[in-house]
Amino acid sequence: MKKIDTLKEIIFKKKERILLAKQQLSEEELKIRVLSLPPTRHFIEAINKPHVISLIAEIKKQSPSRGIIRQEFAPLDIAKIYQDAGVQAISVLTEEDFFAGNISYINEIKNQVELPILRKDFILEPYQVYESRFYGADAILLIAELLSKDKLAQLLQLADNLSLDYLVEVHTDKELKKVLSLKIPLIGINNRDLHTLEVDPKTTEKLFILMPKDKIVVVESGIKTSQDVLFLKILGVKAVLIGEAFMEASDIKRKVEEVMGW
């Protein structure tokens, strides 16, 4: 039986979504609209604290590996709970077909919560960078595997021009090599293989030792307990991005405090 390549399916649908979005709001129109927006919040500054490990808490309803994670899903309420719990930043999953996300959640949250917001999606082209800024994101996720070195450099330059921070995600040493050839302060290590959806925490151990000391490292996927967080803190990781452990909890605030040891 042929294995499903989840990433391939996601990208196929994402390209369709981008075409639809462009029909409703053109890139030219977006370029004009972003000129009059208020300044972004400092995402990197918020999560890069000395002697502590920061938390980027994620908002997502479902995932391809888990299906629906949270039935009672109210993004703004969740964001307020995260802020109340003392998280440093919020990640909002905006991919529609596999994660049941929506980019409109960002603006809704931004209007009532003071934390910086990361747009987590499968960003492939400049249109989505303008779109992220327009809908209120302070930072964007860029996945190294999806982008050639030239395309990545182009999107990083555009993000800089729009005052957006960026988290560039890697899963293999080959991807890390590509990323390290560019001036990128914030690098994410994703323990999940996006093709098979399998999680291997050893990915972090393998890649972290190859990381220059001046990089701010965020670890994503498979972080569930305070022991996991403590191990990463001792390793020298600056921040963790956690979603599922909180989304499946009946008491989100208590779960954040438990996992982070606050």
Residue 212 predicted with pLDDT over 90 = yes
Whether the CB-CB separation of 124 and 11 falls below 8 Å is answered with yes
User: What are the structure tokens assigned to 7, written together?
Assistant: 């990433």
Which two tokens mark 219? 């670890």
Would you tell me how many other CB atoms lie within 10 Å of the CB of residue 107? 13
- Is 9 an annotated catalytic residue? no
Q: Tokens representing 231?
A: 């191990």
Per the domain annotation, does 181 fall within a domain? yes
Question: Which of 95, 125, 131, 169 is an active site residue?
Answer: 169
91 catalytic residue (yes or no): no
pLDDT per residue as tens digits for the range 140-190: 999 999 999 999 999 999 999 999 999 999 999 999 999 999 989 999 999
Which of 54, 91, 191, 221 does the annotation list as catalytic? 221
Res 2 pLDDT > 80: no
Residue 115 lies in a domain: yes
202 assigned to some structural domain: yes
Question: Is residue 111 among the annotated active site residues?
Answer: no
> For residue 4, what pLDDT is reported?
78
- Please return the burial class of 50, using the count of CB atoms within 10 Å of its CB with bins 0-12, 13-18 and 19+: exposed
Q: Which domain holds residue 215?
A: 6-34+41-260
Residue 217, domain CATH: 3.20.20.70
| Digit-coded pLDDT (tens) for 46-96 | 999 999 999 999 999 999 989 999 999 999 999 999 999 999 999 999 999
Q: Is 258 known to be catalytic?
A: no
In the set 54, 63, 190, 191, the catalytic residue is: 190
Radius of gyration of the chain (CA): 17
Is the residue at 193 inside a domain?
A: yes
* Look-up of token digits 């977006």: 30
Domain count along the chain = 1
Output the pTM of the full model.
0.96
Look up 107 and say whether it is catalytic. Answer: no
Q: Is 48 a catalytic residue?
A: no
Residue 46 inside a domain? The answer is yes
Q: Measuring CA to CA, which residue among 232, 242, 179 is closest to residue 204?
A: 232
What pLDDT, on the 0 to 100 scale, is given for residue 3? 67
Domain assignment present for residue 1? The answer is no
175: in domain: yes
Q: Give the tens place of pLDDT for each residue, 215-240.
A: 999 999 999 999 999 999 999 999 99
Q: Of these residues, 95, 131, 220, 244, which one is catalytic?
A: 220
User: Which of 14, 54, 58, 125 is the catalytic position?
Assistant: 58
Secondary structure of 73-141 in the HEC alphabet?
Answer: CCHHHHHHHHHHHCCCEEEEECCCCCCCCCCHHHHHHHCCCCCCEEEECCCCCHHHHHHHHHCCCCEEE
Q: Does the structure show a pLDDT above 70 at 97? A: yes
Task: In whole angstroms, give the CA distance from residue 185 to residue 215.
Answer: 5
Strand pairing class (89-93; 216-220):
unpaired
Report if residue 95 sits inside a domain: yes
Q: Which of 14, 60, 61, 238 is catalytic?
A: 60
